[in-house]
Amino acid sequence: MALARIQSKFYTAEEYLAIEITAVDKSEYFKGEIFAMAGGSANHNRIAGNAYAVLNNGLRSSSCEAFSSDMRLLVKAKELYTYPDTMVVCGRVDFAKGRTDTLTNPFAIVEVLSPSTRDYDRGQKFEFYRTIPTLQDYVLIHQEQVHIEYYYKPQNGLWTLAEFINLEETFTLRSLKFELSIRRLYERVDWLPV
């Protein structure tokens, strides 16, 4: 999703959360600034929906739970409120103080890359996400071609990248011990000629 600055004044986190309750569209908040999140393409929605559906269905008998982009994430160390495409929490969900719509402890985050947010999702946003103590898996899914960037944190604490470009491949989210089919993640995607 693309972000656009929507104000010149600075807001407190409490003011932002009050605005979000009645807002028609979602916004991201970072240290006093509110950024509008533009809607995604059909392919973006298909991929995000596929990721959520696969994780939600596949984790039902475990202690882990998937959340769609309707659930907000607070990255405490960076004062960032955002809406990842899909998140997975294992065990008890830790919510931001006084909230039931903002979690703080994802084990895995999935983002579908858009041309306008690709650099942000790979760069500063991932830098911010890495400050979340529970985060173990970060998946970036390209929507214009079959290409998945999977970052995982082994026991040594150093993030490692694995990439996939074949629909017939699968990969395992290591923290969840959960296998994902790349074909399933890209189901119903309408590949436009380049």
Query: 7 lies in a domain?
Result: no
The predicted structure's pLDDT at residue 192: 72
Query: 120 lies in a domain?
Result: yes
Query: 29 lies in a domain?
Result: no
Q: Which domain holds residue 181?
A: 40-185
3-state secondary structure of 158: coil
Query: 164 lies in a domain?
Result: yes
The predicted structure's pLDDT at residue 154: 87
Query: 22 lies in a domain?
Result: no
Element (H, E) at 119: helix 118-122
pTM: 0.91
Query: 55 lies in a domain?
Result: yes
Torsion of CA 118, 122, 128, 131, to 10 degrees: 150
Total domains in the chain come to 1
Query: Residue 95 sits in a domain of what CATH number?
Result: 3.90.1570.10
54-64: pLDDT as tens digits: 999 999 999 99
> By the 8 A CB rule, do 167 and 182 touch?
yes
Query: 58 lies in a domain?
Result: yes
Query: 47 lies in a domain?
Result: yes
pLDDT tens over the chain, length 194 residues: 444 445 567 899 999 999 998 888 889 999 889 888 877 889 999 999 999 999 999 999 999 999 999 999 999 999 999 999 999 999 999 999 999 999 999 999 999 998 888 899 999 999 999 999 999 999 999 999 999 999 999 888 899 999 999 999 999 999 999 999 999 999 999 887 65
Residue 109 burial class via C-beta count within 10 angstroms: exposed 0-12, middle 13-18, buried 19 and up: buried
The predicted structure's pLDDT at residue 1: 44
